[in-house]
Structure 1
Amino acid sequence: MLLKNKVAVVYGGAGSLGAGVAKAYTEAGARVFLVGRTEKTLREVADATGAAYDVLDAGDEDAVEAHADSVVERAGRFDVSFNLVPRGDFQGLPLTEMSVADYTRPVVRGITCQFITARAAARRMAAQGSGVILGLNSGSHNGSPMLGGTGAADGALDALIRQLAQEAGPAGVRALGIWTAGVVDTLTPEKLSAAGAPAPDEAAVAGIRAHLDSLRMTKRSPKIADIAALAAFLASDAAAGLTGTWVNATAGMFPS
């Protein structure tokens, strides 16, 4: 089992991707703690995956630090940190028509939350001499029009992960990430509407998924199970040589 005896924390664990990662991690042998702000959805994912859960805001410094201590107290260690908390991205308008708030929100909210959780994890992992901090974004900093502040937010996270890998590496901590350019089975009318799209129906969502497929070299977009399996591998000792980099899991949306 890839993650036998490992302890993982998944921030934003009640979302569709968080649930998929929790399932992959528990099946790989890890003890998993889900973190989020809504107990009902966290409990549903925990019941389905066998993970534990804790209700807190991953953007609250004090709460995250206290929770990291509690994970070590309960499980004896802290091996994997994966932050999948939504950033409030707003898309679908050209930059010349976008408000400052809509452009900057995913950048500020996203990097703040990512920094808080990564710092808490790195502190505990450095003390024990090992650990893995994972990030995930769309890879849109490589150049994607009409995505508002998503590219800037992705670029900020890329920089954080690379710098953290350099600074925490001597203490045995790895930091790396995954580019997805969209995970098609996470797309729903509700999520697309929240990101700024005109309330799409199921037919419109199917069209968006098909369009994403057409842009890939493989003509098949990554799905939750694909990304979750990759996340399990990257968190494992089998990927011990990987740090300070981003894995291009876009199925060839763009080369790297």
Structure 2
Amino acid sequence: MLKDRTAVIYGGAGSLGTGIARAYAEAGARVFLAGRTESTLRKAAAETGASYDVLDAEDEEAVEAHAASVAERAGRIDISVNLVPRGDFQGVPLTEMSVEDYTRPVVRGIACQFLTARAAARRMTAQGSGVILSLNSGSANGSPMMGGTAAADGAIDALIRQLAQEVGPSGVRVCGIWTAGVADSLTPEKLSAAGAPAMDEAAVSGIVAHLDSLRMTRRSPRIADIAALATFLASDAAASITGTWINATAGMFAS
């Protein structure tokens, strides 16, 4: 589905980034992973056959230089995916949350999404084709105890729709995936970083079971599910889809 395409995955060393990179490579794409930590990037690249570059997606000059470098090495950029962590902090009522914890994911999230999407769009509009993908939890639809996640998601939702309108006439599609609580991506370390108390694998399994119970399908999404959807959206099979968000929450909410 992605034969001879070039894909850049920002924040590509995480579990979702690795899963999408693997799916893209299997579909025929040449994949470049970008992120801040070389050790995790190296591991993800070894698992997927991708190339990797150390990059801070909040550094405007570095993002632009990296996009130019990928285009030079590969000849073009066909797919851009942003999975960069935003420093979300959750599980605390808004009345008890600091302004720093609330605004951090909003500022970081919209800045790095804008920078990477802009760098890709500049090159894609010039070549007359390309796909820009984003991913968030869909919390802008209403999610209590999610802190600044809802505001960050809302800002990125709006960015994707606006950018799609502006670059669509040049042959570039822009869309996003809503997904929350991808079961096999949840770890004690990841949950702790988001503000959850220390827990073991049994506690994580309990969280996944609870999330399962909240979904219409009674089954939380898996990495492979999201990777398959990201592959479809990046392919010509999705040529009519742009300016929208695909609800891949397994029915966490209706849309």
Amino acid at match of 2:111: T
The runs of 5 or more residues in structure 1 that have no matched partner are: none
What SS is found at the alignment partner of 2:217? coil
> How far, CA to CA, are the matches of 1:241 and 1:192 in structure 2?
36
Amino acid at match of 2:62: A
Per-residue deviation at 1:201?
1.5
The runs of 5 or more residues in structure 2 that have no matched partner are: none
> How far, CA to CA, are the matches of 1:77 and 1:109 in structure 2?
27
Q: Report how many residues are paired.
A: 255
> How far, CA to CA, are the matches of 1:187 and 1:48 in structure 2?
19
**2:36 is matched with which residue?**
37
Alignment of 1:76-91 (within 5 A): 76-91=75-90
> How far, CA to CA, are the matches of 1:44 and 1:204 in structure 2?
27
**2:109 is matched with which residue?**
110
Q: Does 1:168 align with 2:167?
A: yes
What SS is found at the alignment partner of 1:222? coil
**2:213 is matched with which residue?**
214
**2:23 is matched with which residue?**
24
Instruction: Tell whether the 8 Å contact from 2:181 to 2:208 is kept in structure 1 after alignment.
Output: no
> How far, CA to CA, are the matches of 2:144 and 2:200 in structure 1?
23
Instruction: Tell whether the 8 Å contact from 2:220 to 2:249 is kept in structure 1 after alignment.
Output: yes
Per-residue CA shift, 1:143-184, capped at 9, x if unaligned? 111010000000011000000000010111100000012211
**2:223 is matched with which residue?**
224
Q: Does 1:157 align with 2:156?
A: yes
Alignment of 1:93-104 (within 5 A): 93-104=92-103
Per-residue deviation at 1:89?
0.2
What SS is found at the alignment partner of 1:32? strand
Instruction: Tell whether the 8 Å contact from 2:81 to 2:134 is kept in structure 1 after alignment.
Output: yes
> How far, CA to CA, are the matches of 2:72 and 2:142 in structure 1?
43
> TM-score, with normalisation over the residues of structure 2?
0.99
What SS is found at the alignment partner of 2:7? strand
**1:147 is matched with which residue?**
146
Per-residue CA shift, 1:13-68, capped at 9, x if unaligned? 11011000100000000000000111111111111111000111111111110111
**1:74 is matched with which residue?**
73
> How far, CA to CA, are the matches of 1:186 and 1:81 in structure 2?
21
**1:202 is matched with which residue?**
201
Instruction: Tell whether the 8 Å contact from 2:67 to 2:119 is kept in structure 1 after alignment.
Output: yes
Per-residue deviation at 1:187?
0.8
> How far, CA to CA, are the matches of 2:183 and 2:207 in structure 1?
9
What SS is found at the alignment partner of 2:132? strand
Amino acid at match of 2:251: G
**1:60 is matched with which residue?**
59
What SS is found at the alignment partner of 1:213? helix
Instruction: Tell whether the 8 Å contact from 2:7 to 2:77 is kept in structure 1 after alignment.
Output: yes
> How far, CA to CA, are the matches of 2:239 and 2:137 in structure 1?
24
Amino acid at match of 2:174: A
> How far, CA to CA, are the matches of 1:16 and 1:181 in structure 2?
14
**2:132 is matched with which residue?**
133
Amino acid at match of 1:60: D
What SS is found at the alignment partner of 1:111? helix
Which region of structure 1 is more displaced relative to structure 2, 221-230 or 181-190?
A: 181-190
Per-residue deviation at 1:71?
0.9
Structure 1 stretches of at least 4 aligned residues deviating more than 2 Å after TM superposition:
none
Identity over aligned residues, as a percent?
81
Amino acid at match of 2:3: K
What SS is found at the alignment partner of 1:4? coil
> How far, CA to CA, are the matches of 1:243 and 1:146 in structure 2?
30
Q: Does 1:50 align with 2:58?
A: no
What SS is found at the alignment partner of 1:10? strand
Q: Does 1:236 align with 2:235?
A: yes
Q: Does 1:186 align with 2:185?
A: yes
**1:246 is matched with which residue?**
245
> How far, CA to CA, are the matches of 2:149 and 2:199 in structure 1?
20
